[in-house]
């Protein structure tokens, strides 16, 4: 496994080379700053939404969903949920939704508890909740990332590598759902390039399908595999070098359906 400090971004930012000063660019899978799990890059959500500020005002508040989380004994699902909720935290910060961020701070602590690492993230969760109260959004972003990284580090210590991959996959999925949703409503060819990620999705699909069968047993994980295969075909540029609006709409629907299935399963 190639280990590196987690300094890359989910969909955009300088370390992944996705968003330069003059606009979006394609993902560079050969960037040495990327984080690798096994032999592939898995980007993670540190500064995605602050980077997307460069695209101008977007309806991030419309992407904040107050979903009820029912926990069960499926640790693979819990790991994906954890990644999704952290990603939702970044969306809520982007929207400056104080109450949503406080709720997410409590939820990440509950999910960490279900993964057996509640004590390790207690301080981070408290900082998220307190930071939301004071509107210190940069600090909240930092603490959200520290929460995610603490859980990943602990999973690595416990040699739960499949859970590391699923946390990262959940974070990527949550960010992709939000990005596709806002681009569906306010499409631009330039911004659509942020979804031009067929090579990345191919690697995510290969990694997911390569996880132990015990980590991906059941209808939910069949849907994950099928959705990743579908997204790989959608996240390609057309003859004009753009991800078409039609594909953005399909990406939005596919990711929305999968996120709902993860929450509801």
Query: pLDDT tens digits for 7-63?
Result: 223 332 322 223 333 434 444 444 443 444 433 344 445 545 555 666 667 777 888
- pLDDT, tens digit (0-9, with 9 covering 90-100), for 222-255: 999 999 999 999 998 888 888 999 999 999 999 9
Count of helices and strands (H, E) across the chain: 10, 4
**Which of these, 178, 175, 184, lies nearest to 63 by C-alpha position?**
178
The Cα 86–Cα 58 span in angstroms is: 20
Residue 188 binned pLDDT confidence (cut-offs 50, 70, 90): confident
Output the CA torsion sign for 24, 10, 127, 259: positive
Tokens encoding 126: 């408290």
pLDDT digits (tens, 9 = 90+) for 106-133: 999 999 999 999 999 999 999 999 999 9
The residues, ordered by sequence, that sit 6+ positions from 202 with a Cβ below 8 Å of its Cβ are 232
**Element spanning 36, H or E:** strand 36-37
Contact criterion met (CB below 8 Å) for 204 and 40: yes
Q: What is the pLDDT of residues 69-94, one digit of tens each?
A: 899 999 999 999 999 999 999 889 88
Read off the pTM.
Answer: 0.82
State mean pLDDT over 197-221.
92
Q: How confident is the model at residue 259 (pLDDT cuts 50, 70, 90)?
A: very high
What is the reported pLDDT for 88?
Answer: 92
């Amino acid at each position: 496994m190639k280990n590196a400090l987690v300094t890359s971004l989910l969909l955009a930012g300088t370390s992944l080379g996705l968003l330069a000063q003059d606009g979006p660019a394609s993902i560079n899978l050969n960037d040495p700053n990327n984080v690798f799990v096994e032999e592939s890059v898995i980007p993670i959500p540190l500064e995605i939404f602050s980077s997307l500020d460069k695209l101008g005002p977007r309806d991030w508040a419309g992407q904040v969903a107050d979903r009820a989380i029912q926990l069960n004994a499926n640790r693979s699902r819990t790991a994906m949920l954890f990644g999704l909720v952290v990603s939702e935290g970044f969306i809520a910060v982007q929207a400056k939704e104080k109450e949503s961020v406080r709720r997410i701070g409590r939820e990440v602590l509950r999910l960490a508890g279900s993964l057996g690492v509640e004590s390790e993230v207690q301080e981070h969760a408290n900082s998220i909740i307190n930071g939301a109260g004071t509107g210190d959004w940069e600090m909240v972003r930092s603490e959200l990332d520290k929460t995610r990284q603490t859980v990943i580090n602990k999973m690595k210590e416990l040699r739960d590598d499949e859970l590391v991959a699923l946390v990262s996959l959940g974070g990527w999925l949550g960010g992709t759902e939000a990005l596709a949703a806002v681009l569906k409503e306010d499409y631009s060819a330039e911004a659509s390039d942020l979804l031009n990620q067929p090579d990345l999705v191919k690697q995510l699909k290969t990694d997911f399908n390569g996880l132990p069968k015990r980590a991906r047993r059941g209808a939910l994980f069949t849907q994950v595999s099928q959705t990743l295969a579908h997204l790989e075909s959608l996240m390609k540029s057309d003859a004009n070098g753009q991800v078409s609006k039609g594909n953005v709409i399909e990406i939005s629907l596919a990711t929305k359906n999968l996120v709902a299935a993860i929450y509801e399963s």
